[in-house]
Amino acid sequence: MEARAAQHAQELIDAAQAWVDDDPDHETRVKLGDLLAQAKTGDQAALDDLGDRFSGMLEFGTAGLRGAIGAGPNRMNRSVVIRAAAGLTAYLQASKPEPFVVVGFDARRNSDVFARDTAAVVVGAGGRAAILPSPLPTPVLAYAIRYLGADAGVMVTASHNPPEDNGYKVYLGDGSQIVPPSDADIATQIARVAAVADVPLADDGWETLGDDVLEAYLDDAVTVVAKDTPREVTVVHTALHGVGSETVAKAFVRAGYAAPIPVESQAQPDPAFPTVHFPNPEEPGAMDAALELAEQTGPDVVIANDPDADRCAVAVPGPGGWRMLRGDEVGALLGAHILARGVGNGDVFANSIVSSRLLAAMAKAAGVPHEETLTGFKWISRVKGLRYGYEEALGYCVDPPHVRDKDGVSAALVVAEMTASLKAEGRSLTDLLDDLAVEHGVHATDALSVRVADLALIGKVMARLRQDPPQDVAGTAVVRTDDLAEGSEALPPTDGLRYFLADDSRIIVRPSGTEPKLKVYLEVIEPVSSDLKTARQTAATRLAGIRAAMEGLVQV
Contacts of 174 (CB under 8 A, 6+ apart): 145, 146, 404
CA distances from 461 to 61, 331, 354, 467 (A): 22, 30, 19, 10
Q: Terminus-to-terminus CA distance in the chain, angstroms?
A: 30
Are the C-beta atoms of residues 478 and 470 closer than 8 Å to each other? yes
One-letter amino acid for residue 307 of the chain: P
Distance (Å, whole) CA 232 – CA 273: 32
Query: CA–CA distance from 242 to each of 26, 275, 325, 541 (Å)?
Result: 27, 12, 21, 37
- With CA atoms as reference, report the closest residue to 462 among 424, 498, 500: 498
Contact, 57 vs 115, CB < 8 A? no
Check if 449 is active-site.
no
Rounded Cα distance, 115 and 466, in Å? 42
d(CA 159, CA 377): 14
Whole-number CA gyration radius for the chain: 24
Half-sphere exposure of 109 (CA within 13 A, CB side): 14
Q: Are 440 and 528 in contact (CB under 8 A)?
A: no
Q: Give helix 358-366 / helix 327-341 axis angle, nearest 10°.
A: 10
Rounded CA separation 263/304 (Å): 10
Catalytic residue (one of 79, 111, 159, 245): 159
What is the C-alpha separation between 462 and 236, in angstroms, rounded?
41
Residues designated catalytic: 159
